[in-house]
A and B are shown apart, each in its own frame.
Chain A
Amino acid sequence: MKVKDYTSIGERVFHEKLLNGLPVYVVSKPGYSKGRAFFAVNYGGADRRFKANGKWLNTPAGIAHYLEHKMFDMEDGNALGVLFANGASANAFTSSDMTAYHFECTENFEQNLRTLLKFVSTPYFTEESVEKERGIIGQEIRMTEDSPETAGYFGLLKLMYKKHPMRDSIVGTVDDIAQITPQMLYDCHGTFYTNTNMVLCVVGDVDPDMVARAAEEILPKARGEAPIKDYGRDDAPSGKKRSVKAQMAVGMPLLFAGARLEKVPNERILQQEITAQAALRLLIGRSSPLYMDLYSRGLIGRDFLGQYDRIAGQAMLIFSGESRDPEAVAEAISERAESILNEDFSEAFERQKKALIGARLRELNSFSDVCYNVAKGCFDGYDPFEAISALQGITAKSVRDMISESLSPEKLMVSAVVPK
């Protein structure tokens, strides 16, 4: 495998696209006891309309997540049980644009890797097993329906995006999943779980050649095609409405506020991400006047977050946290986004660049962050290990431009969850 050293951050990464079409990354971590394998599909809750065998298919909300649950069924047992019985701690998740299966273990890594590759590439569904899962996922849906975070977040996405399917809950509703059949699951697996549409990332003190060999031996030889999917046209927010409020059994209201960012070509994604992170730190980071003001007025706590996110081709800024007065916080963010443009913040900007170095270094300690970032980078066409070097290239002007373009008052959407 090809090797690349990132000397300034002390990382060594092996990478190759195998003959079967699968991109493989091995991030070398000498001295660590555990290894992590992360096998991800470029397929998530938003990928509901796609072409299979030449025909357009429309599938129900929640199907990618349902498929994730059912993949663990093997003809001769349950893969989750097999991995745990062999000393691995395993799990999977489905986001709006990714499905990922992963495990960590401190022994039998190769054997567990082979189990992972095998069960994710081998669909096995029966009427009975698909039926049985409806009760389990039904309870997962009830759990998310009682979650104010989920309600606030999806309430916000529905304001920000008029048609994009990521507006809908990833797990779907009980009615959505009632429609799911074994055949639909086979269609989705056949379309999306192809080598070219997936990535394998391994982090740990692991032999890269062993990883490549296992993937070559176990996965199908066919590279498979890149799926054709349709998110619909979505160039605009929902309409004139800029805020929404939901009532739930909460003790403290919750705020989700967000703004869309422009779409950028792949080679500019990392730059956009870092620019956004610097902008967020300047606007509402711990050392910002806005954070101080809101905190001392008792309007936000230490867990208030400003985040950059990129989901299913869309980039956005999201502000979230608990607050006695969500509207006042959203308004303060809008006002600050205007007033900061009149200031010379170049000194604070240089300090935030420095702080971002530490923040990005911290991420490299986390095997799960590393795997997720590698998979995202692979699907979206950028190298996440270049983040700290890319920091050198951003300027106070690029931060200023982003704030002025994306956070003008009419662009910030606000979703609040308040007590009944």
Chain B
Amino acid sequence: MKEILRKEIMPNVRLTHLQTDKFKTGVFSATILTGLDRENASKNALLPYVLRRGTVLHNDMDSIAALLDDAYGAVIEPVVRKKGETHCIGFYADFADDFFLNGKESVLEKVIGLTAEIMTAPATKSGTLLHEYVDGEKNRLLDELEAQVNDKRSYVLSRSLELMCAKENYGINRLGRESQIKKVTAAGLTKHYRKLIAGAPIELFYCGSAGYDRVENAVLEAFAALPRTGFIPIPQTEILTRPVKSEPRVFIDRMDVGQGKLVIGFRMGEAALHPNHPALLVFNALYGGAPTSKLFVNVRERMSLCYYASSQIDRHKGVMLVSSGIEFNKYEVAKNEILAQLEAIKGGDISEAELESAKKTVMNAYKASMDSQSSLEGIYLDNCLSDIRYSPDVMAALVYDVTKKDVMDVAAGVCADAVYFLTGNGGDTDES
């Protein structure tokens, strides 16, 4: 990997450039950063999909698809992500690197050009996004929202956050809400679009073999029509360090399923406000982020309660979720063991071997991310939203220095805020 460059190339538009020739493809992403709030979440989630339907020059999906086929199967996909209380909406493109096309064609400029065209010159009628596309995408989004329950393991994660953070914007579904989606009009979405495109922060990312100047030139030319008439700062995330109530709140859903799904949501305490990122990551790996973790070794291997029991932290929000799939009647025993393992870490029951393997897991993940363009794209977007300006290899080095005390300091403030259980329709659950 050569030098990493990051530069504000237009007002509130930043380009991150990573040059390497080890991949067969180039990756380009363009992400609008906007606040996740109840009023606009559904519009945000709709917008990239509506834009992707057609442009002034290529006004339907098949003409865009034909261009992409012709550009050696390049792909430009709409993406909607939630990081803390920032809604990250935009496009992720990947395409064959010139080197493998025998110097005959150059796909880079075409793909950046088409991405910019989709973002800045959507198909409109009398200045309004097409009703047909807005209505079509509203229905598609409603279907996608309804389909979330199909995958129970990921559904319970967003469902438990919705309940635990009901009064915070963080509780809002990445895709918005049914009633709000239904209310979106073409005129309202167009207005929202014009506001974002004129002033919201935009992150551009490129990783591939092309040098900085070539990429910057391509971007400046392609995005020349971007109207930068306003200025909206990067949205902030509200952080709660303590649970909402003194005892964890309990939420139960019932459904016709064969396996119970338990999720426990935690607030991260002081570590949420002043995160020691390397220590936070090591704590997660030690608690439930790897097969050497407390949760895997005890809840799965020692007690045979489940196939998975794992933890994950959203560092932007300072919230941790532990999730596991268990028999309905193992609710109490699993919940108690998950909480007991957290207490063990707080009490300093951390062996040298456990700490070392947690550190190695995190270091390996960081170093390995240098070999994946999509991981790099995600890491640099995360970094844009927090104070971190370290590259993955520097982060790996910082993890090396994390001590047992650092991990205990993180654990000290961690407190359960909500317990969620998805159980069957029968009456054999032992929740109390």
Question: Are B360 and A251 touching (Cβ within 8 A)?
Answer: no
* Neighbouring B residues of A29 by C-beta, 8 Å: 22
Nearest-CB residue, chain B, relative to A9: B100
Query: Is the C-beta of A132 less than 8 angstroms from some C-beta in chain B?
Result: yes
B305: which of A135, A292, A352 is its contact (CB, 8 Å)?
A135
What string of 1s and 0s marks CB contacts (under 8 Å) between A333-363 and chain B?
0000000000000000001101111110110
What string of 1s and 0s marks CB contacts (under 8 Å) between B245-257 and chain A?
0000000000111
Question: Are A301 and B364 touching (Cβ within 8 A)?
Answer: no
* Neighbouring A residues of B68 by C-beta, 8 Å: 286-287, 355
A34 to B356, CA, bound (A): 19
Question: Are A361 and B25 touching (Cβ within 8 A)?
Answer: yes
Nearest-CB residue, chain A, relative to B325: A143
B149: which of A34, A134, A250, A286 is its contact (CB, 8 Å)?
A250
Nearest-CB residue, chain B, relative to A104: B368
Chain B residues 79 to 122 lying within 8 A of chain A, measured CB to CB, are 94-97, 99-102
B136: which of A281, A289, A298 is its contact (CB, 8 Å)?
A298
B371: which of A33, A88, A147 is its contact (CB, 8 Å)?
A33
* Neighbouring B residues of A139 by C-beta, 8 Å: 259, 305-307, 325-327
A302 to B290, CA, bound (A): 32
What string of 1s and 0s marks CB contacts (under 8 Å) between A362-383 and chain B?
1011010000000000000000
Question: Are B258 and A142 touching (Cβ within 8 A)?
Answer: yes
* Closest CB in chain A relative to B137 CB, distance in Å: 10
* Neighbouring B residues of A354 by C-beta, 8 Å: 69-70, 72-73
Chain A residues 1 to 50 lying within 8 A of chain B, measured CB to CB, are 8-10, 29-34
Which of the segments B139-147, B182-190, B310-318 contacts the partner chain?
B139-147
Query: Is the C-beta of B333 less than 8 angstroms from some C-beta in chain A?
Result: no
Nearest-CB residue, chain B, relative to A247: B256
Question: Are A252 and B150 touching (Cβ within 8 A)?
Answer: yes
Question: Are A80 and B255 touching (Cβ within 8 A)?
Answer: no
* Neighbouring A residues of B357 by C-beta, 8 Å: 81, 84-86
Question: Are A287 and B69 touching (Cβ within 8 A)?
Answer: yes
* Neighbouring B residues of A362 by C-beta, 8 Å: 24-25, 73, 94, 96
Query: Is the C-beta of A180 less than 8 angstroms from some C-beta in chain B?
Result: no
Question: Are A301 and B371 touching (Cβ within 8 A)?
Answer: no
Question: Are A132 and B304 touching (Cβ within 8 A)?
Answer: yes
* Chain A count of residues within 8 A CB distance of the other chain: 73
* Neighbouring B residues of A142 by C-beta, 8 Å: 258-259, 325, 327
A70 to B101, CA, bound (A): 46
* Closest CB in chain A relative to B215 CB, distance in Å: 19
Q: Show the binding face of A for B, using Cβ within 8 Å.
A: 8-10, 29-34, 78, 80-81, 84-90, 104-107, 132-137, 139-140, 142-143, 145-149, 248-252, 254, 281, 285-289, 291-292, 295-296, 298, 301-302, 322, 324, 351-352, 354-359, 361-362, 364-365, 367, 420
Q: Show the binding face of B for A, using Cβ within 8 Å.
A: 20-25, 60-62, 65-66, 68-74, 77-78, 94-97, 99-102, 136, 139-140, 143-144, 146-153, 255-259, 290-292, 297, 300-301, 304-307, 325-327, 353, 356-357, 360-361, 363-365, 367-368, 370-373
Known: A251-B149, A352-B69, A362-B24. 7 other contacts (CB 8 A): A32-B22, A85-B353, A104-B364, A248-B256, A351-B69, A358-B74, A361-B24
Q: Give 20 pairs: A residue, B residue, CB < 8 Å, sorted on A.
A: A9-B100, A10-B24, A10-B100, A33-B370, A81-B291, A81-B357, A85-B356, A89-B365, A104-B364, A136-B301, A136-B307, A146-B257, A249-B257, A292-B61, A298-B143, A357-B73, A357-B96, A358-B73, A361-B97, A362-B94
